Amino acid sequence: MSQATGARKVFDWIAGVGLVLLGIAGLVLPILPGVLLIIAGIAILSSHSALARRIHEALVSRAKRMRDRVMSRD
């Protein structure tokens, strides 16, 4: 593993976990968009964690179903 790859992995973990924690705080604080920060953190972590990848895929699938449901209405 090269140094740049290792540094990138560490940065991704710090950024992903940080965004998830900020998102959790944002669920109770009115000025932070909690759900958006959690989704962004999970998206970053999904490249390094199988659990985050499964959560991300489930969220994407659910968003596509919701989009299709909204777009099919006349």
Task: Give per-residue pLDDT as tens, 27-58.
Answer: 998 888 989 999 999 999 998 889 899 999 99
Q: What is the pLDDT of residue 8?
A: 87
Alpha-carbon distances, residue 67 vs 61, 63, 73 (angstroms)? 10, 6, 10
Return the domain boundaries, the chain: 3-71
Tokens 């593993």 locate to: 1
Tokens of 17: 């976990």
The amino acid sitting at 73 is R
CA distance linking residue 39 with residue 56, whole number of Å: 8
**Which residues 6+ apart lie within 8 Å of 20 measured at CB?**
37, 38, 41, 42, 45
Q: What is the pLDDT of residue 38?
A: 92
